[in-house]
Amino acid sequence: MTRPSDDVPFADDFLIRPNPADPKLTERVSGVDQDGNVAETSVTVERPLTLFLNGREIVTMMTICDHPDYLAVGYLLNQNMLRADDKVTGIDYDDEIEVVVVRTERETDYEEKLKKKTLTSGCAQGTVFGDVMEKFETVELNQNTRLKTSWLYTLTKKINTTPSLYLEAGAIHGCILCREDKPLIYMEDVGRHNAVDKIAGYMFMHSITGEDKIFYTTGRLTSEMVIKTVQMGIPILCSRSGFTAWGVELARQVGLTLVGRARGKRFIALAGQDRIDFDIDVTKIEDEPKGMGRKGAKAE
């Protein structure tokens, strides 16, 4: 088995971002269009990835498999199978048999956690474990982190125009770790929980803290998204999509700033509004045409 090579930072603000030119991530497929004419389009490739922790099988995930090491570590962190102070002694990935193995110095207690597994609302059946809520209730988020509206508008414009699998083929979710008006880590996957986990894994492996960060997602602001953002210690969560009631309730419970429906000049904050600085004249912001998504594409 071999471990994927480390990522080389891009020349722009991103530490890591999508690579829609990667031939492993999309395929060209022929069909017919609305007029009965032959048409060809790009489709996103999803593959099974089986995760082992210290030699024991944990889960098989459907993923685009572009960063299996970050996905594996992030998944284990967000399921509380790894602790923040754990030492990962090795990560092995075998592309042919679609397996990733994470090894730790500490003997883990995954068997008990697997008994508590419950399904959540994430695409492709994301999972969360019983003791996640216990940790969630003890987290204290940084109250000094700000969200300037000028940053939000800059971020949404840059993210929406960055080359991505979404623009190439669709059927994908994006999650981005940001600081002020700069997007830093941009991950995509067929399930938004996978994209979150890849960012969590990157943060863990590169010793990046979340206290001064903003998390942006293209998907819904569900309880799962709120829980994982809080677990990463990030105090601000934004999306171009809408909310679930439990997601809002949990955000208010822990003081997470929750901003949704961020499209063009519009957005609405349903929790943690005290972190927002309204520092720009909204009339100077160009609005987004109704029913349109990133870079003019129809929203999924």
Span 92-146, pLDDT tens digits:
999 999 999 999 998 876 655 555 554 444 454 444 445 566 677 788 899 999 9
Tokens 């800059």 belong to 154
- The answer to whether the predicted template modeling score (pTM) of the entire model surpasses 0.75 is yes
Tokens 């309730």 belong to 249
Angle between helices 245-254 and 223-231 (to 10 degrees): 30
Rounded to 10 degrees, what is the CA torsion of 16, 21, 25, 27?
160
Which tokens belong to 211? 């206290």
Span 153-179, pLDDT tens digits:
999 999 989 999 888 888 899 999 999
**pLDDT at residue 124, rounded to an integer:** 41
pLDDT over 70 at 1, yes or no: no
pLDDT over 50 at 79, yes or no: yes
Cβ-contact 162, 20 below 8 angstroms: no
DSSP string, 120-155: -SSTTT-EE-TTHHHHHTT----SS--EEHHHHHHH
Choices 3.30.70.870, 3.40.190.10, 1.10.3720.10, 3.40.140.10: CATH for 1-300: 3.40.140.10
